[in-house]
């Protein structure tokens, strides 16, 4: 059974940084697509950054140049390094996984992911 557990959320000042972690279990890391999504207050969940097992990484426009997605296969851990944080980054952040290599055009769309963590809250103050 696939299990995803996020951590690393919290409070930060605008311009600051946070690193989110997602420990994954129950699947073979290299065969999955994985990503970070977020739900901002009053909005639907949206893709932030994701990659497929073919090595394609996609960032949302809002994340480009500020956020970096990475993984440590030995630790079965996915990371999201968030720099230059803005108040509009405030929201719940989720780790997601899907047991196949998603097409590049789809990896930021939540409907293609079957496995989700419980989320971790990020709050950025001005």
pLDDT at 90: 98
Residue that the structure tokens 């949206």 belong to: 46
Structure-token pair, residue 18: 């946070």
pLDDT score for 30: 66
Q: Tell me the pLDDT tens digit for each residue of 86-108.
A: 999 999 999 999 988 899 999 99
Task: For the chain, give the mean pLDDT.
Answer: 95
| pLDDT at position 38 over 80 | yes
CB 116 within 8 A of CB 3: no
Q: How many CB atoms lie within 10 A of CB 59?
A: 19
Q: Average pLDDT, stretch 67-92?
A: 96
Rounded CA gap, 6 and 11, in Å? 15
CB 37 within 8 A of CB 94: yes
């Amino acid at each position: 059974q696939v299990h995803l557990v996020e951590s690393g959320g919290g409070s930060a000042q605008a311009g600051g940084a946070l690193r989110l972690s997602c420990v994954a279990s129950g699947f073979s890391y290299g065969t999955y697509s994985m990503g970070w999504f977020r739900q901002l207050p009053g909005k639907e969940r949206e893709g932030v950054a994701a990659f497929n097992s073919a090595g394609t990484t996609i960032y949302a426009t809002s994340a480009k140049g500020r956020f970096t997605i990475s993984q440590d296969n030995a630790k079965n851990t996915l990371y999201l390094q968030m720099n230059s944080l803005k108040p509009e980054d405030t929201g719940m952040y989720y780790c997601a996984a899907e047991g196949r290599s998603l097409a590049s055009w789809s990896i930021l769309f939540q409907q293609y992911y079957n496995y989700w963590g419980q989320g971790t809250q990020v709050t950025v103050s001005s």
